[in-house]
Structures are given as C-alpha cells and as structure tokens.
Amino acid sequence: MSVIRSKLKEVMENHDPKLSIRKLAKDVNYHFDSVRRMYKDEMVQYPRDLLLKLCLYFNVQPGQLIGIEEDEDRNCTIDEPSDHQEDGNDKENEKDTNL
C-alpha cells in the first residue's frame, strides 16, 4: 500500500548536516514539536503553513518535503470504489446538464 512520507530529514541533511530540529523550528518560527514530528515522519496531517515555511527556508517545492512511497509493512493493492470508476458516460451526462 502506498503512503505519504516526510522527507524533511533528508532535506535537512542535504542542506546542512549540522542543522538541528530545534534550530530549524526557531528559524522558521514554528512549534518545535510539529517540526520534530515531521522530521521523524510521525505527522498524520501536514499543516500548509509549515510546508510553506519549510519550502521557503530550504528553497524547495512541497514534493521535495513529502512524497508517496510503498509501505513495506503492507503490500496490498488499493481497490477503487465502484462509484469512482469511469464508465465513459461522464461527458454525455455533463452535456445533458448544460442544456
């Protein structure tokens, strides 16, 4: 199963191997615990304001801070719910509603 993972640790190490989580949190003016959770990939949701501050600080795009990876703990496929599958009639239905 694919999961979203934080790449903050790698970005920090590439930027400055001596940069601490505490110094980064101070530099971007953000809660230490939030930055630490992102560094350790323990975050469930990524605050947009934190992502913006980190992107500006490291001069990177959001995709360089987070990414999709395969979860080694679970190797299963994602089944699409049947109500989200395309059946080719979407354009036809869209045309009818515009009349």
- List the domains of the chain with CATH numbers: 2-70 (1.10.260.40)
Neighbouring-strand partners of residue 68: 4
pLDDT digits (tens, 9 = 90+) for 38-97: 999 999 999 999 999 999 999 999 999 999 999 876 544 445 454 445 545 555 555 555
Q: Tell me 44's DSSP state.
A: S
Phi, psi (degrees; rounded to nearest 5) at 98: -85, 0
The string of pLDDT tens digits covering residues 4-50 is 999 999 999 999 999 999 999 999 999 999 999 999 999 999 999 99
Q: Is the pTM of this model over 0.85?
A: no
Q: How far apart are the first and last CA of the chain?
A: 42
Nearest Cα neighbor of 10 from 71, 64, 69 is 64
Residues whose CB is less than 8 angstroms from the CB of residue 72 and which lie 6 or more positions away in sequence, other chains included: none
Q: Tell the residue number behind the tokens 């989580």, with chain if given.
A: 21
> What distance in Å separates the CA atoms of residue 11 and residue 58, rounded to the nearest whole number?
8
